[in-house]
Each structure stands twice: as C-alpha cells, then as structure tokens.
Structure 1
Amino acid sequence: MKFLRFVVLPLSLLSGFAVQAHAEDKTEPTPTVKPGFAPMSNPFFAGAIELRGVMGNDKIRMHLQPKTEDRDSVEGSYVVAGGKRNQGKKILLAGEVSKNKLSMEESEDGVDVSGQWDGELKDNVIRGVWQSDDGKVSKDFVLELWLAPKTKKIKSPSSK
C-alpha cells in the first residue's frame, strides 16, 4: 500500500467536499469539540502529544496529534535519537485508535510504507511491537507520555 494514498489523497478529497458542502450550506455549524480536530473517543489521543521511549535498543521521540478529518485517527512523526535510522530525519506516521489500542503505519520517504506499529495504552505508557514492512524485523517498543519541564514561576507583585 502506498503511504501517499493513505494520508494525502483522502485529505485532498475531503477538503474538496468540505468546501463544496460549506458553499451550499449557509448556516454556521456549532462546534462541539476543540476546533480543528475530530472528536477522539480516547482522551489520551485527543490533542497533540509528545512521547519518548525505546524501540529495541534505539531511543526515539514521537509526536502524535489527532487527524482533523477522521475520528479516532492520528498522524505524526518520530525521530531516532543519534540518527541511527533514516539519518535522523523525521519518519511519518498515520494510524487508528480503537479504545486503548493503537495501530499505525510509518513511511520514511512519505510515499511507501516502511513499518507497522501495534501497541496498547496503559497508565500513560504505550507498549507494543514495531515491524518492518517486509515482516523480517520486529522490535518491542515502550513509549511514555513526556511532559515538558515546569516553567519558572514569576512572583506577582503582591507576593513576598
């Protein structure tokens, strides 16, 4: 399966339909969710998140966010620390969330599928197996939700 058809083609088709539908409908829709994102059934994936962890022996950083056009779908990218894979360039991701299960395809070149991620979320940690597109290589992965360091608090003039 071509990654481009999986991500870009549906997006371009849906955006064309949305423009046509909006032109015909003169009423303004009432937003029920955060603008720009489809409603997500699992709140863990409801907004942009940063994950850090390991895939086999490699350290990785991953960014995921909900797709705007598909309910319970995510997209994003990851980087292997130290550039061990793909010379440190971002590897693209797109996939589906079903309850606590996460399934994603990846693409190193933005066109062809280069791997598959299948994992399960439990206690802010996603554990699972990554497999190469040909099925010859598989690696366990563990990804933890990464929280940004706390910012320094500025004292208000009334506090001493």
Structure 2
Amino acid sequence: MRFLRLVLLPLTLLSGFASGLTVEAQDKTEPASPAASRFAPMANPFFAREIEFQGKIGDDKIRMHLQPKTEDSDSVEGSYVVAGGKRNHGKKILLAGEVSGNKLIMEESEDGVDVSGQWDGELKDNVIRGIWQSDDGKVSKEFVLELLPAPKIKKVKTSSAK
C-alpha cells in the first residue's frame, strides 16, 4: 500500500502540473473567432468569413453575400439580389461554389432546385471579376464585384456597480 502511495502521488502531482501547463499554454494563444469556428477551413483566408459585395453583372446592379460552407472546405454558399427586381422579382438567387486559390466558380439557382447560371471569376485586390453565363450557355455577361467593408459593431457601454 505504501508503494502505491509513493508511485501514485508523484504521478498525480505530475498530471496536475502538466494540466496546469496546458491551461497556461492555451491562455497564451489567441482564441478562434466564433464565426471562423463554425465554418469549414479555407485555403484562401479572404473567403474564410462572411463577406458582402456590391457590383454589376452586365448592366444590372447587384448585392451579393458569401460565406464558407460549414461542411465542405474551400466551398462557399450565399445569395445575391438584382437591384430593382429586374431578375427573379427581387428575390434572392442562391449560390454555391468552390474556391481554388484566387479563382471562384459558382452555380446559381433562382428556384433553389435547378441551376440557372454559372459564375467564373478571379479575386484581385478585393475585387472579383469574371464571366456569368446562363444555364443554357446562350447569354454571357461580364461581372465586377467589389468587397464592402464589414459593418462596424457599436460597443455598448455598461455601467459598473460600485
């Protein structure tokens, strides 16, 4: 019994010491942002968060939202709306695609089931430029999407009780 105490006591102390080191080491690392942890990993950090774009597809003004997919690495999903309801009566057009380096390839769906178009673009200096093509290949339009700045979150002041 005394032998067990002599062996187990140092092991218990060592494991407690080691777990203390682990906690200390964890405290020194920067915490992952809550948004980043819910998405699958992305090789291109530009697409590793929710982002908003504004731009044109042909002559139509659009606003687009993209975010990484939660289950597929290097994949994005999102939607866009054509200003003035010119296409799809102002309803969101769904997007899903892949990122490879600075290349972005997406399919879109106006009804959530059938593919209605293809996006093939390249990111350079916070701008994505490329070609949109209808699902039947009969219509092609150039597009330019500029990254919008992230909305600023106002800090709420709290009064401290004394």
TM over 0.5: yes
Classify the TM-score, shorter chain.
0.7 to 0.9
Check 1:148–1:133 CA distance in 2 against 1; reply closer, same or farther (3 A cut).
Answer: same
Matches within 5 A, 1:3-152: 34-148=36-150
Check 1:150–1:65 CA distance in 2 against 1; reply closer, same or farther (3 A cut).
Answer: closer
- Larger mean CA deviation between 31-40 and 71-80 belongs to 31-40
| Whole-angstrom CA distance in 2 between matches of 1:125 and 1:105 | 19
TM-score (norm 1): 0.73
Pair member with larger Rg: 2
Bigger relative contact order (CA 8 A; separation at least 6): 1
| Whole-angstrom CA distance in 2 between matches of 1:99 and 1:42 | 6
| Whole-angstrom CA distance in 1 between matches of 2:154 and 2:41 | 33
Write out the 4+ residue segments of structure 1 that deviate beyond 2 Å after TM superposition: 31-34, 148-155
Structure 1: which amino acid aligns with 2:143?
Answer: F
TM-score (norm 2): 0.72
Match of 1:27 in 2: none
Report % sequence identity.
82
| Structure 1, unpaired ranges of 5+ | 1-30, 156-160
User: CA RMSD, aligned part only?
Assistant: 2.2
| Whole-angstrom CA distance in 2 between matches of 1:56 and 1:151 | 33
Check 1:154–1:130 CA distance in 2 against 1; reply closer, same or farther (3 A cut).
Answer: same
Q: How many residues are aligned here? A: 125
Higher helix proportion, which one?
A: 2
- For residue 60 of structure 1, give the secondary structure of its aligned residue in structure 2: strand
